[in-house]
Amino acid sequence: MVKLRMLQPFPHHYEVSLIWKGGETSEISSGPRPALPGGPPAQFDGVDETRWSPEHLVLAALAQCLMLTWISLNKRSQIPLKAWESKGESVLEKTKEGLVFTSFKLSVALKTDAGRIDEARRLLETAKKFCIIANSLKTPPTLEAVVEAA
């Protein structure tokens, strides 16, 4: 079993601020981080595609969480990470329970040393298991991985 070492004791607390900017737009911030412009996606009649929607943010959180979990777990294994690219997709459907994400899919392309490919692939599956965002979703994500030598 992989044991995760945390720098700070639990519980961890997080805060964000949201300011309405008029119409259906907002600005999302958290401490010293750059503000993100928020708004509805085109599927909900959003007119500004440069704004981050909740639907895109949850998918981005899932993708980043998987990568950061892999990197954290890899501190013990020291598998050389040469490249990481991922693409996320989700489907939102109208169900009897209301609007629900019915699928999340992450496609990851990871490059490492030739002799560490299988180990990197196994660690990716472990990272999916420990990903905080994946574990918080009602619908479990699927993972498609291509792990190859750099």
- Which DSSP string corresponds to 106-133? EEEEEEE-GGGHHHHHHHHHHHHHH-HH
What's the predicted TM-score (pTM) here?
0.93
Q: Smallest Cα–Cα separation from 105: which of 64, 56, 141, 70? A: 141
Strand order in the sheet with 36-38: 17-22, 25-29, 36-38
Q: What is the mean pLDDT of each run of 10 residues along the chain (150 residues)?
A: 71 97 98 98 96 98 98 97 98 97 98 98 98 98 98
pLDDT for 1: 57
List, in sequence order, the alpha helices (H) in the chain.
Answer: 54-77, 117-130, 132-136
Write down the domain spans for the chain: 17-52, 54-149
What's the token pair of residue 79? 């598998």
Instruction: Identify the bridge partners of residue 52 per DSSP, sorted by sequence position.
Output: 38
pLDDT for 7: 79
Domain boundaries 54-149, corresponding CATH code: 3.30.300.20
